[in-house]
Amino acid sequence: MRSLRVVIFAIGGLLWLAVNGAWAAEYTFSYQKIIDLEQPVVLHLSLVRGSVYISGSEDDRLIIEAVKSIRATDENEVEGDIRIKSSSATITIQQIRGAIDLVTLSGEVKIQTELDSPRDYFVETNSGSITFIIPEASSGVLNIETQSGDVQAEMPVAVKSVSRNRLVGEFGRGGPTIRLSSSSGDVTVALY
């Protein structure tokens, strides 16, 4: 048995965060995933910043370890744009600030966001439902579609066009565009 160990150290630039004149604390998040391999694989890695260390092993496993360090006033206060591309995964995101660009071939997607970004939000899955949860006092433009599922928005929407599988309209005043698309699955915009 052979395994490949991938250790990713992504230490982002320090964020300038001050609360009551104090510097933000540093938080470190670790991640590990072990994948059993039945055949040889090609591994593609992409980093914005950081280092990658690869070493061989004697069994048929791929071990991925990642460490990320950030500065924030609270470990739940992680800000920034999120970009995800996946072939198959259940994806859950809870975001304070930033845009989202997410594409997955299969899997359910659940996102809760403050909808605080000058950039647009884009979520697409070929097979799976999408639930996009936003604050009650939000504003934005909706462009929601599904080929074989239902579309639902839990807020008043000034509708530009609507059908069983598509909804285009605005809610509130101004705000980013939210594009949600599923080939086979329900698409819901909910409020919290």
pLDDT of residue 74: 63
Q: Check whether residue 49 and residue 104 sit in a common domain.
A: no
Strand partners, 116: none
Q: Which of 54, 72, 90 finishes a domain? A: 72
What domain range includes position 139? 82-191
Q: Check whether residue 119 and residue 25 sit in a common domain.
A: no
Q: Check whether residue 57 and residue 152 sit in a common domain.
A: no
Q: Check whether residue 63 and residue 120 sit in a common domain.
A: no
Strand partners, 25: 72
Q: Which of 72, 102, 123 finishes a domain? A: 72
Of 11 and 90, the one with more pLDDT: 90
Q: Check whether residue 29 and residue 120 sit in a common domain.
A: no
Q: Check whether residue 59 and residue 94 sit in a common domain.
A: no
**Residue 164 above 90 pLDDT?**
no
> Is the residue at 77 inside a domain?
no
Q: Check whether residue 92 and residue 182 sit in a common domain.
A: yes
Question: pLDDT exceeding 90 applies to what percent of the chain?
Answer: 42
Instruction: Report which residue type is found at 46.
Output: S
Element (H, E) at 1: none
Q: Give per-residue burial for 36-69: e unless 16+ CB within 10 Å, then b.
A: eeeeeeeeeeeeeeeeeeeeeeeeeebbbebebe
117/80 Cα distance (integer angstroms): 9
Q: Check whether residue 67 and residue 86 sit in a common domain.
A: no
- Please count the structural domains in the chain: 2
pLDDT of residue 10: 40
The mean pLDDT of 129-135, rounded to a whole number, is: 96
Q: Check whether residue 62 and residue 132 sit in a common domain.
A: no
> Is the residue at 110 inside a domain?
yes
Question: pLDDT exceeding 70 applies to what percent of the chain?
Answer: 66
> Is the residue at 186 inside a domain?
yes
The mean pLDDT of 60-77, rounded to a whole number, is: 66
Q: Please tell me which of 6-20, 59-73, 83-97, 143-157 the model is most confident about, judged by mean pLDDT.
A: 143-157
107/129 Cα distance (integer angstroms): 7
The mean pLDDT of 130-134, rounded to a whole number, is: 96
